[in-house]
Amino acid sequence: MKKILILCSVLLTSGCATQSDGTMVANPGSITTAMGDALTRFVPALKPRITAAQLLGKDADWVRLKLGEPSFARADLQANIWQYKNTTCILNLFLYAQSDQNPALSLLHFDARDAQGRGTDRDACLSTFQN
């Protein structure tokens, strides 16, 4: 049994790096680390990556849950326009009522601009706003 624990420790620590002070740090791809005789599960805190295709068609509540409150919002007759802005890029989201009978808003279009206002990759810009 002791040999199995030692073997597991060796295999699991291969997914770890040692800092200059001797402490072990899990590499980003590692899911388990060995600490003494106890095994500890390592789950990296990664941001979810939502793509443009996944965002389109979602309702306003879902968008807020994933991206937070917009930096700017405007309600027009035909659409609500939400803008998310940071130092990297600007997302302009256009939410429309599903129908006269169902006024719930859905995201039907969005564009991405760089800090200078030029069009940029939507997925890359979108990733900078995800909670």
pLDDT in tens, 11-65: 444 444 444 444 444 444 444 445 555 555 555 555 567 888 999 999 999 999 9
CB 82 within 8 A of CB 93: yes
Which residues are within 8 A (CB) of 55 and not within 5 positions of it... i.e. 6 or more apart? 63, 66, 107, 110, 126
pLDDT in tens, 80-119: 999 999 999 999 999 998 777 777 899 999 999 999 999 9
Q: What pTM, to 2 d.p., does this model score?
A: 0.61
Residue 53: its H or E element: helix 52-55
The pair of three-digit structure tokens given for residue 20, joined into one six-digit string? 């200059």
